[in-house]
Structure 1
Amino acid sequence: MFFVQQVLKNEMLGVTLLSWFIAQLLKVIISLVKDKKVNLYRFVGSGGMPSSHSALVMGLSTAVGLKKGWDSLEYAISIAFALIIMYDASGVRRAVGKQAIILNKIIEDKQNHKPIGEKRLKELIGHTPIEVIAGAILGIFIANLVI
């Protein structure tokens, strides 16, 4: 119980989780406005606007910078972690999503001639650079608001 109490008092963890939560909630709202229907999967799914990965890591690193100092070891570690996560979200994971689109088209074309029993791959995996930047700005904003 003591551990849980300490975790709940951790402002930096609170900012991190709040940044993620708001980004995921915004995905549901944006999906509702765009598609005119509620898609609760967007709350737990990856990809889309804004990047919750970017919001989470930039919320954390901004909170660390504000609390521990911009010249601290903790900030250096957290910003390096954030940059890796954001690079991966807009690079590697986005490329995987594009490959999934192509593979799904191949599967669909093949199934029109004969069933092959393959399931569609998840296509919304990574982020565009704009989605990553929007998530990062959201995280920075939340951290400055809370800390």
Structure 2
Amino acid sequence: MGHILSYNPVITVGFFGLFIAQIIKLIVSLISSGRMDFRRLVDTGGMPSSHTSFVSSVTTSIGIIEGFHSTMFAVALCFSVIVVYDATNLRRSAGYHAQWLNRIVPDLLQGKIIKEKFDYKVLRELLGHNPVEVFVGGVLGVLIAVLTLYFLNIYP
């Protein structure tokens, strides 16, 4: 993996975008909750969207290196749109489902609707992103790509 990162600036920039977004997510969590929750480094959901930061870093890097007119950039852009759509819609909906289940299952377990007990594990509710989180992740990815490629002196 070290060889891939050292010889492929697009992958390197993508992982920088992902890593920096996760660090920011940890800081945002610390500010909002007042405690350091290191699970945020590998968790999904929250501000900013690391998925969007990753794909926008990769897509921007490809555009800068290969050209924004290239087929590679077009393919990367198409996949980026899919990832961003998934982050804002599908995964967000799954988060809403988890919220509702987390509200009704405790009542079910107390026998308010059903009588028998069953194993219950709290579902994760923070699966997706709101549009602002996705936007910030996208802007972050573009900035990381431009700055990293500039400092690596890989502008065409």
Normalised TM-score (structure 1): 0.94
- Which structure's residues are more often helix, by fraction? 1
1:117 aligns with 2:119: yes
After TM superposition, what 4+ stretches of structure 1 lie above 3 angstroms from structure 2?
A: none
**Match in the other structure for 2:26:** 28
Structure 2: any 5+ residue segments left out of the alignment?
Answer: 150-156
Task: Report how many aligned residue pairs link the two structures.
Answer: 145
State how far apart, in whole Å, the 2-side matches of 1:138 and 1:14 are: 15
Task: Say whether the 8 Å CA contact 1:20–1:56 is kept in structure 2.
Answer: yes
Task: Say whether the 8 Å CA contact 2:4–2:11 is kept in structure 1.
Answer: no
Q: CA deviation at 1:110?
A: 1.3
1:41-120 aligned at under 5 Å gives the runs: 41-113=39-111, 115-120=117-122
Correspondence for 2:37 among 31, 39, 48:
39
**Match in the other structure for 1:14:** 12
Q: CA deviation at 1:84?
A: 0.4
Correspondence for 1:128 among 113, 127, 130:
130
State how far apart, in whole Å, the 2-side matches of 1:104 and 1:66 are: 45
Mean Cα displacement is larger for which, 117-126 or 85-94?
117-126
Instruction: Tell me the alpha carbon deviations over residues 83-117 of structure 1, each in whole angstroms, 9 at most, x when there is no partner.
Output: 10000000000000001100111111112335322
1:145 aligns with 2:143: no
Identity %: 37
Structure 1: any 5+ residue segments left out of the alignment?
Answer: none
Q: RMSD in angstroms over aligned alpha carbons? A: 1.2
Q: Does the C-alpha gap of structure 1 residues 142 and 99 become closer, same or farther in structure 2, counting only changes over 3 Å? A: same
Instruction: Tell me the alpha carbon deviations over residues 16-40 of structure 1, each in whole angstroms, 9 at most, x when there is no partner.
Output: 0000000000010000111110000
